[in-house]
Amino acid sequence: MLHTACLRQTFVRTRTFASSSVACKNKAIVYRKHGNPSEVLSILSFPDLPPPPPNTANVRFRLSPINPADINVIEGDAPVYVGGNEGLAEVVQVGDGVRQLRKGDWVVMTKPQIGTWTSARNVDVRDVLKVPSDLEEAQAATITVCPTFLIVSGANPRCRLKVNPPTAYNMLHDFVHLEKGDWVVQNGANSAVGQTVIQIAAANGWKTLNFSPIWVPPRSQLMTNFPDKAFKDQVKTWTGGQSIKLGLNCISGQATTMMVRLLGQDAHLVSYGAMSREPLSVPTSLFIFKNLTCHGFWQSLWYSRKSKQERERLMENLVGLMRHGKLRCPEHEVLEIGGSEGDEEKISKVMKRLRDGRYGRKVLLKLQV
């Protein structure tokens, strides 16, 4: 399990987080025990950061998304930690030896669970990647190439990948050579990854067959009759009889067992989640007669195996799609935390709705100083 960054590691040289003699303008959203995020999160104030040590930079976070994986981390087991895994920050000061960054640059995190729900922190320059400052803040904040993988929860492991453009981009490019007019089928199409898949596919002339909802409850009767012959015939009409080469799965369970039957000869199924909390079950006949190939995808593993140049090229490709209006940031709202007495209650309400899956859009934190 990946843990969020401990406060003692996050603010290495900060001696205290609240003092009557020191002005504590900065804020961080932290938790001292694990549990329901709507109950265990609190706001901590801390002084300005000291000058950055060599090969590091002090940054001020502009926007920090709240992801499902962040909530699951808080439900785990660890001491006092700053929440958050991704975010857009602005460099405010660099230490000796730093050549690739300067004051005012925008950066995103490349180290998992670095702790981004804070107004400021010191970072190793190896753990950030510069992004163009001409993007919208929300675009840059959600383009993060930093991966997240979770989750072990009791006897029902839940595997979720952080929803972000790199996940969608790599799954579309790494497993099958798609040509203009080719078809991709996916479930969880209304998730952030699913919506990004649709946009990237459209930008490349690929067509998508999309199924929702994002989550199918265990033992659900939903889609039990799918796909019958009439529906398969309808799919053939939609695709013009073309074979579907690639399937993307974030639900698993019965929903994917049914979806995979729509794939054509020599197709590939890529699984990056199991939101139904059920195992993936694929008929043996599909391997024998259709030569189906199944893969698992974890952005963290991709990232660990790629060079800095390859990671930067991925970022450039995504930025290019955004600049040309072919990749939009997900529907979102900004939650501003400004130091008022009602801030913790505000966070609690948002976390409860997110935890219950009732928010419907991404929440971006902005901690005012």
The residue that leads in pLDDT, 109 or 91, is: 91
CA separation, residue 290 to residues 7, 176, 245, 296 (Å)? 52, 15, 11, 19
Radius of gyration for the chain, computed over Cα atoms and rounded to the nearest angstrom: 22
297 neighbors 327 (Cβ within 8 angstroms): no
Among the residue ranges 17-21, 179-183, 306-310, the one predicted with the least confidence is 17-21
Report the DSSP beta bridge partners of residue 150. 160
User: What percent of the chain stands above pLDDT 70?
Assistant: 82
Q: How confident is the model at residue 80 (pLDDT cuts 50, 70, 90)?
A: low
Q: How confident is the model at residue 2 (pLDDT cuts 50, 70, 90)?
A: very low
Which three-class secondary structure string do you get for the chain? CCCCCEHHHHCCCCCCCCCCCCCCCEEEEEECCCCCHHHHEEEEEECCCCCCCCCEEEEEEEEEEECHHHHHHHCCCCCCEECCCCCEEEEEEECCCCCCCCCCCEEEECCCCCCCCECEEEEEHHHEEEECCCCCHHHHHCCCCCCCEECCCCCCCCCEECCCHHHHHHHHHHCCCCCCCCEEEECCCCCHHHHHHHHHHHHCCCEEEECCCCCCCCCCCCCCCCCCHHHHHHHHHHHCCCCEEEEEECCCHHHHHHHHHHCCCCCEEEECCCCCCCCCCCCHHHHHHCCCEEEECCHHHHHHHCCHHHHHHHHHHHHHHHHCCCCCCCCEEEEEECCCCCHHHHHHHHHHHHHCCCCCCEEEEEECC
Q: Once rounded to an integer, what is the mean pLDDT over residues 321-337?
A: 87
The Cα 116–Cα 55 span in angstroms is 20
Question: Would you state the pLDDT for residue 358?
Answer: 65
Among the residue ranges 138-142, 210-214, 219-223, the one predicted with the least confidence is 219-223
Report the DSSP beta bridge partners of residue 183. 207, 244
Highest mean pLDDT (candidates 46-55, 335-344, 360-369): 46-55
Q: Once rounded to an integer, what is the mean pLDDT over residues 100-111?
A: 91
Question: Would you state the pLDDT for residue 168?
Answer: 94
User: How many other C-beta atoms can be found within 10 angstroms of the C-beta atom of residue 347?
Assistant: 23
Q: Once rounded to an integer, what is the mean pLDDT over residues 85-94?
A: 93
* Phi, psi (degrees; rounded to nearest 5) at 122: -95, 135
pLDDT at 355 > cutoff 90: no
Question: Would you state the pLDDT for residue 219?
Answer: 40
Question: Would you state the pLDDT for residue 11?
Answer: 41
Q: Return the ∠ at Cα 149 (arms to 147 and 152), rounded to 5°.
A: 165
Question: Would you state the pLDDT for residue 153?
Answer: 30
Q: How confident is the model at residue 341 (pLDDT cuts 50, 70, 90)?
A: confident
Question: Would you state the pLDDT for residue 259?
Answer: 93
Q: Cβ contacts of residue 240 below 8 Å, gap of 6+?
A: none
Q: How confident is the model at residue 360 (pLDDT cuts 50, 70, 90)?
A: low
Q: Which amino acid is at 46?
A: F
Question: Would you state the pLDDT for residue 66?
Answer: 84
Question: Would you state the pLDDT for residue 232?
Answer: 85
The residue that leads in pLDDT, 86 or 103, is: 103
Q: Once rounded to an integer, what is the mean pLDDT over residues 81-100?
A: 92
CA separation, residue 336 to residues 34, 151, 203 (Å)? 24, 28, 34
Q: How confident is the model at residue 267 (pLDDT cuts 50, 70, 90)?
A: very high
Q: Mean pLDDT over all residues of the chain? A: 81
- By CB neighbour count within 10 A (0-12 exposed, 13-18 middle, 19+ buried), where does 137 fall? middle
Q: How confident is the model at residue 149 (pLDDT cuts 50, 70, 90)?
A: very low
Highest mean pLDDT (candidates 139-148, 243-252, 302-311, 346-355): 243-252
In the chain, what's the furthest Cα-to-Cα distance? 74
Question: Would you state the pLDDT for residue 202?
Answer: 96
